[in-house]
Chain A
Amino acid sequence: MVVGAVVGPLVILTLCSPPAHPLIAEVFYDAVGDDTGHEFVELFNPAATPFPLAGARLEAGDGAGAGRWSLRWTGAARDTIAAGGRFVVGGASVVPPPNVVVTLDLQNGPDAVRMVWQDGATEVVGYGPNPLAEYFCGAPATDAPSGQSLARVPDDSDLGSNAQDFRAATPSPGAANLPGRDAALIGGTLTLVPEQPAPAAAATRAAAVVNRGAEPLAEREVELLVADVGETGDLPLASALVAVPMAPGDTARVQVALPGLAAGKRLLRARARLAGDAAPANDADSLRVRVGLGPLEVTEIQFHPTHGEGEWVEVRNRSGAPLALEGFSLADRHGPPGVPSGGAGALRPESLAVLAQDRLALLVAFPALDRSRVWEVRPWGSLNNGNDSTGVADVVTLRETDGTPCDRVPYGAAGVPAGVPLERRASGDWGPASDPLGSPLAPPRALPPLAARFAVRPRRLAAAGPRVASVGWDLPWPRGRVAVDLYDLAGRRVAAVLAESTVPGRGERSWSAAELAPGLYLLALTARAEDGAETTRLIQPLRIEGSAP
């Protein structure tokens, strides 16, 4: 196995690959899901002359015990690796098709593969920790995660240890593991801002590009192309050049200004273009986007329930056609998407439905709800109650099952009274619900107009009865910060009726005065515009009847 040595003045280096032989360049043994047909072993011939493979053997080693090697493939007379070329032995599902189709059935480690050359020289590549020295050279490579291969990087690396020569990488059968020139899109970095642009409105596509090659790339050498993928092919939309030089391993974020797009679902493909790119397979990525409004919109969010009903989100069908809610998913900012179940039938146009964390609990709390329109979502992404440093508590996201965005609502929890849901009003603004318990399956309660900016109804509370007053306001701003305090006739503060919170311009709150002694009180509403520029203070009397003690 150890076939050569380089003797230097200070260092003695033992090689793992026999000289004048091809190298094992890549091993893919653990595909996502079923491995069958996806496994491959790639050989690389760095020499300037072709290398015939007739009689060469590929063996798999079972690291569970000593001497457990089994033959997987033997080279035929027609099998040759071209000078500087690659030869892939792999399953039928490998793309591009391998040179030889073989079911390798490799173990997922700690195991090994071994090439036994015609002259008896061998090369072992071991992966995963294994105490048996026959299953690795130097030290075994770190086990690659599912979906990634073990790749020799650079392609001719031979540092005397599998652990140093191999690392996990995106599978690249038949292509260089570390090509000379390779600009790649980093998966999952594609974004569109805004995520759901309005029809014909400008948007920005962004992606991260990495120099996966061995050579540095000059500025403006890499170009990001964005196309709209249609039934008839890609329609180029816009492009942008990477304005900075990129050393090997460097990444750069590229933004492409897109022209206005037509409304609807779209698949936007981005591709990094580089002249002489040796690995075009990693150049492209795509993102499903929606231009304009989706068929389903979020209309109410209960993120901090206080009556045991669990969290819930109300949605409205605005598509104009019946919608099957099973075809949508709901997620919070970081959690996995959950799929609705438990309701019945398609949602009629303009109808409301509730997506609940706990369907039964919600129906217990709101027994009058139409059960067919109450759906339970699993898994439920627990909605946050507190804002982060950006002022956002969480993001409620609706998507179609193919991942196309449908609606996205970032909300803030600051100033929302405990237990009060957030609701979308006819103006499109969000704010604490008019009804403190929320209005699942019902539109926001329309409040009657007030004769004054601040009103208390009734102003006289009878001794017998619930002693509940409605405190209403109609501010000169769409939203504001409001606090209501109670004072006695002598001007002494007695109670806080409504702690300072952000409220819509028109709102009401019920307030119980059951704990108050009979007498005459003054309710003082202090309101200020959200920008703090204006403040107003309004006062109303409240008489509470009752006998003297």
Chain B
Amino acid sequence: MSAAVLRVVRVLARALAWIGLLAAPAAAQDFAAPAPAWPPAPALALLERGLPPPAASSCLAGTVTRWDGVAALVTRGAALGIGRRALRAALGVSQTGEPDVGWTALGLAVGAATAGAGGALRAVARRDRTTAFGFDARGAAVGLEVGGGAWVEATGGVHVWASAPQLWTRGEAPPLSRPLEIGGAVDFGGAALWLGRAGVVGHPRGSRGEYAIGLAAAAGPMVVWLVARDQPPRGGVGLSAATHAVRVAAEVEGHPVLGETARMSLGLGGGR
């Protein structure tokens, strides 16, 4: 192993350890996209995790997630992402679940990114659904969460990130508490390996957090990835295909007790 590689590993390990020490009690919900943890998906990851995409491009994305096979719990969302020079911004709307358990979300994220680093602030406002149509629910509970995320290229092909999407919350509590998420990815040229850790609120073993490991491989316009998580052990597989104008992706994640969570997205623009 060369001295340069060793140095990279040390820096990465040190960075992850440092971030891990700060890890407080954070997952995906309103704008969850079928994509590897790295690189951040255009528009959707900016809204969901506060991580701006490295590439400056604009896109329109739509996503559908069926949570744990539950028909009453489906998220439908749409987002517009804008990238001009270093500026990154996204605006999105989504609706989750049947009226008696669901909510409607409006998301906004603004940030900046270069080839070597990026960061953004994101905010999501939610309003409980009380009727089939989500915007006329007068008197329904409203909640707001504000957070952000950042990433940096530690060295060539090695990226680390941290995302704290709920730094500040007001009103109705979010459907899922999402403490700090940290992670790192190594790009081997055509393949990437990533490791992530997310805190867990209220979990008896909350101090342990939840770990995820993933591997992605690209072949031309296709990307395939595998991901595994603990607490409880589960795994998923995803596939995306992109041209300069259109990108489609799908991911299925299994659970030992609950049903499968299936995600699909369609993007226009945003490059490959």
Q: Counting CB contacts under 8 A, is A5 at the interface? A: no
Q: Counting CB contacts under 8 A, is B244 at the interface? A: no
Chain B contacts of A185 at CB under 8 A? none
Q: Counting CB contacts under 8 A, is B257 at the interface? A: yes
Q: Counting CB contacts under 8 A, is B172 at the interface? A: yes
- Are B170 and A460 in contact, CB atoms less than 8 angstroms apart? no
Interface centre among A458, A491, A540, A543 (most CB of B within 10 A): A491
Query: Considering the chains assembled together, what is the distance between the CA atoms of A519 and B128 in angstroms?
Result: 11
- Are A519 and B68 in contact, CB atoms less than 8 angstroms apart? no
CB distance from A145 to the nearest CB of B (A): 62
Q: Counting CB contacts under 8 A, is A417 at the interface? A: no
- Are A549 and B70 in contact, CB atoms less than 8 angstroms apart? no
CB distance from A459 to the nearest CB of B (A): 5
Chain B contacts of A458 at CB under 8 A? 100
Query: Considering the chains assembled together, what is the distance between the CA atoms of A85 and B101 in angstroms?
Result: 97
Q: Counting CB contacts under 8 A, is B231 at the interface? A: yes
Chain A residue at minimum C-beta to C-beta distance from B69 = A539
Chain A contacts with B in 508-549, Cβ cutoff 8 A: 517-520, 522, 524, 526, 537, 539-543, 545-549
Chain B contacts with A in 183-218, Cβ cutoff 8 A: 200-203, 210
Binding-face segment, B4-12, B55-63, B174-182: B174-182
Q: Counting CB contacts under 8 A, is B97 at the interface? A: yes
Query: Considering the chains assembled together, what is the distance between the CA atoms of A539 and B67 in angstroms?
Result: 11
Q: Counting CB contacts under 8 A, is B173 at the interface? A: yes
- Are B232 and A491 in contact, CB atoms less than 8 angstroms apart? yes
- Are A493 and B101 in contact, CB atoms less than 8 angstroms apart? no
- Are B258 and A548 in contact, CB atoms less than 8 angstroms apart? no
Q: Counting CB contacts under 8 A, is B169 at the interface? A: yes
- Are B173 and A491 in contact, CB atoms less than 8 angstroms apart? no
- Are B258 and A517 in contact, CB atoms less than 8 angstroms apart? no
- Are A545 and B141 in contact, CB atoms less than 8 angstroms apart? yes
Q: Counting CB contacts under 8 A, is B48 at the interface? A: no
- Are A519 and B173 in contact, CB atoms less than 8 angstroms apart? yes
CB distance from B255 to the nearest CB of A (A): 5
Given A491-B255, A541-B97, also A548-B232 (CB < 8 A): no
Q: Counting CB contacts under 8 A, is A494 at the interface? A: yes
Q: Counting CB contacts under 8 A, is B29 at the interface? A: yes
- Are A492 and B175 in contact, CB atoms less than 8 angstroms apart? no
Given A458-B100, A494-B202, also A548-B70 (CB < 8 A): no
- Are A489 and B29 in contact, CB atoms less than 8 angstroms apart? yes
Q: Counting CB contacts under 8 A, is B221 at the interface? A: no
Given A493-B232, A520-B97, A542-B101, also A488-B171 (CB < 8 A): no
Chain A contacts of B203 at CB under 8 A? 492, 494
Q: Counting CB contacts under 8 A, is B145 at the interface? A: yes
- Are B234 and A491 in contact, CB atoms less than 8 angstroms apart? yes
Interface centre among A485, A487, A520, A542 (most CB of B within 10 A): A520
Query: Considering the chains assembled together, what is the distance between the CA atoms of A485 and B73 in angstroms?
Result: 18
- Are A519 and B232 in contact, CB atoms less than 8 angstroms apart? no
Query: Considering the chains assembled together, what is the distance between the CA atoms of A485 and B169 in angstroms?
Result: 28
Q: Counting CB contacts under 8 A, is B116 at the interface? A: no
Q: Counting CB contacts under 8 A, is A490 at the interface? A: yes
- Are A519 and B175 in contact, CB atoms less than 8 angstroms apart? yes
Q: Mark B61-77, 1 if CB is under 8 A from A, else 0.
A: 00000011110110000
Q: Counting CB contacts under 8 A, is B143 at the interface? A: yes
Chain B contacts of A541 at CB under 8 A? 70, 72-73, 97-98, 101
Chain A residue at minimum C-beta to C-beta distance from B130 = A460
Chain A contacts of B261 at CB under 8 A? 491
Chain B contacts of A542 at CB under 8 A? 101
Chain B contacts of A540 at CB under 8 A? 70, 72
Chain A contacts of B231 at CB under 8 A? 492-493
Q: Counting CB contacts under 8 A, is B259 at the interface? A: yes
- Are A545 and B172 in contact, CB atoms less than 8 angstroms apart? yes
Interface centre among A488, A541, A542, A546 (most CB of B within 10 A): A541
CB distance from A198 to the nearest CB of B (A): 45
Residue from B102, B145, B210 in contact with A490 in the complex, judged by beta carbons closer than 8 Å: B210
- Are A492 and B232 in contact, CB atoms less than 8 angstroms apart? yes
- Are A487 and B97 in contact, CB atoms less than 8 angstroms apart? no
Query: Considering the chains assembled together, what is the distance between the CA atoms of A519 and B70 in angstroms?
Result: 17
Q: Mark B234-272, 1 if CB is under 8 A from A, else 0.
A: 100000000000000000000101110100000000000
Chain A contacts of B152 at CB under 8 A? none
Q: Mark A438-470, 1 if CB is under 8 A from B, else 0.
A: 000000000000000000001110000000000
- Are B172 and A539 in contact, CB atoms less than 8 angstroms apart? no
- Are B100 and A459 in contact, CB atoms less than 8 angstroms apart? yes
Q: Counting CB contacts under 8 A, is B15 at the interface? A: no
- Are B171 and A547 in contact, CB atoms less than 8 angstroms apart? yes
- Are B145 and A548 in contact, CB atoms less than 8 angstroms apart? yes
Chain B residue at minimum C-beta to C-beta distance from A548 = B169
- Are B27 and A490 in contact, CB atoms less than 8 angstroms apart? yes
Chain A contacts with B in 486-502, Cβ cutoff 8 A: 487-494
CB distance from B37 to the nearest CB of A (A): 15
CB distance from A467 to the nearest CB of B (A): 14
Chain B contacts of A493 at CB under 8 A? 231-232, 257
- Are B172 and A489 in contact, CB atoms less than 8 angstroms apart? no
Query: Considering the chains assembled together, what is the distance between the CA atoms of A537 and B232 in angstroms?
Result: 17
- Are A520 and B176 in contact, CB atoms less than 8 angstroms apart? yes
Query: Considering the chains assembled together, what is the distance between the CA atoms of A342 and B29 in angstroms?
Result: 63
- Are A549 and B173 in contact, CB atoms less than 8 angstroms apart? yes
Query: Considering the chains assembled together, what is the distance between the CA atoms of A519 and B29 in angstroms?
Result: 12
Query: Considering the chains assembled together, what is the distance between the CA atoms of A288 and B256 in angstroms?
Result: 57
Chain A contacts of B141 at CB under 8 A? 545
CB distance from B24 to the nearest CB of A (A): 13
CB distance from B68 to the nearest CB of A (A): 6
Chain B contacts of A491 at CB under 8 A? 68, 229, 232, 234, 255, 258, 261
Interface centre among A487, A488, A494, A548 (most CB of B within 10 A): A548
CB distance from B132 to the nearest CB of A (A): 15
Given A491-B232, A491-B255, A537-B257, also A519-B176 (CB < 8 A): yes
Residue from A460, A522, A526, A545 in contact with B70 in the complex, judged by beta carbons closer than 8 Å: A522
- Are A543 and B101 in contact, CB atoms less than 8 angstroms apart? yes
Chain B contacts with A in 133-176, Cβ cutoff 8 A: 141, 143, 145, 169-176
Residue from A460, A487, A488 in contact with B257 in the complex, judged by beta carbons closer than 8 Å: A487
Chain A residue at minimum C-beta to C-beta distance from B202 = A517
Query: Considering the chains assembled together, what is the distance between the CA atoms of A520 and B170 in angstroms?
Result: 17
- Are B67 and A517 in contact, CB atoms less than 8 angstroms apart? no
- Are A548 and B143 in contact, CB atoms less than 8 angstroms apart? yes
- Are B101 and A460 in contact, CB atoms less than 8 angstroms apart? yes
21 CB < 8 A contacts A-B: A459-B72, A490-B176, A491-B229, A491-B232, A492-B200, A493-B257, A518-B172, A518-B173, A519-B175, A520-B101, A520-B176, A522-B67, A526-B257, A537-B257, A537-B259, A543-B101, A543-B175, A545-B172, A545-B173, A546-B173, A548-B172
Interface residues of A (CB under 8 A from B): 458-460, 485, 487-494, 517-520, 522, 524, 526, 537, 539-543, 545-549
Sorted from nearest, which 10 A-B pairs have the closest CB atoms?
A548-B169, A518-B173, A520-B175, A490-B27, A489-B176, A543-B101, A548-B173, A541-B101, A459-B101, A491-B255
Further pairs besides A490-B27, A492-B200, A546-B173: 10, Cβ < 8 Å: A488-B176, A489-B27, A489-B176, A519-B174, A520-B73, A522-B73, A539-B70, A541-B72, A543-B101, A548-B145
